[in-house]
Amino acid sequence: MSADHDHPHGHDHSHENAYDPMTARVRALETILVEKGLVDPAAVDAIVETYESRVGPQNGARVVAKAWVDPDYRAWLEEDATAAINSLDISGRQAEHMNAVFNTPETHNVVVCTLCSCYPWAVLGLPPVWYKSPPYRSRVVMKPREVLAEFGLVLPAETTIRVWDSTSEQRYLVVPMRPAGADHMSEDELAALVTRNSMIGTGLPKTPGAV
């Protein structure tokens, strides 16, 4: 950082000019906090690495696939989702208290957080941009059928839509219906059908032929 050094060569540029404003601002903040002894940059790296490579929607997909093949597990997930999910070695920040909600032929579930962006990080990873943005948060509680159509999910008028506004520490996992034609598949193969959006409720799982 040399923004205040002398410039005998007669100009007054900042050496941060190479950066866009947010990059410069965040670099300055992290630099100061590291200098102050308040932040270990290796800890920042470890946090980022966790969500880039270890914690993501693949976790939730394992839960859903297991619920599809194991009726006892499904019943446990319904009764105590936190314990059932923890039993697969999935636990932690922003998924401390979990609820599983199950789609049926009559009812479709969809999750939002209108007040911020509550989302089950340990189960689904970091939320996508649209989940955190005003268009989704404002409208899905009022016009869910229209919003789902914008995701390409057109539900008939007779399908009940249940919207779960995650207004607290309770976090929600949608368990979609097992797709037709997947009866012969193993749990691992089934997990590959489970999309992130199908576990938020803005999509459906892939069909076996589409994998």
Active site residues: 113, 116-118
Contacts of 139 (CB under 8 A, 6+ apart): 146, 147
The verdict on 78 binding another protein (CB under 8 A) reads no
The DSSP line for 9-51 is: TS----TTTTS-HHHHHHHHHHHHHHHTTS--HHHHHHHHHII
The verdict on 45 binding another protein (CB under 8 A) reads yes
Residue among 83, 116, 154, 211 that touches another protein (CB under 8 A): 116
> Among residue numbers 147 through 206, which ones bind another protein (CB under 8 A)?
147, 150-151, 157-170, 195-197, 202-203
Angle, helices 57-69 vs 71-79, to 10°: value is 120
Which phi and psi angles does 210 have, rounded to 5°? -95, -5
Compute the least distance from the CB of residue 156 to another protein, in Å.
10
> Among residue numbers 85 through 114, which ones bind another protein (CB under 8 A)?
91-97, 99, 114
Q: Binding residues for another protein, how many (CB under 8 A)? A: 86
Q: Which is nearer to another protein, 70 or 115 (CB)?
A: 115
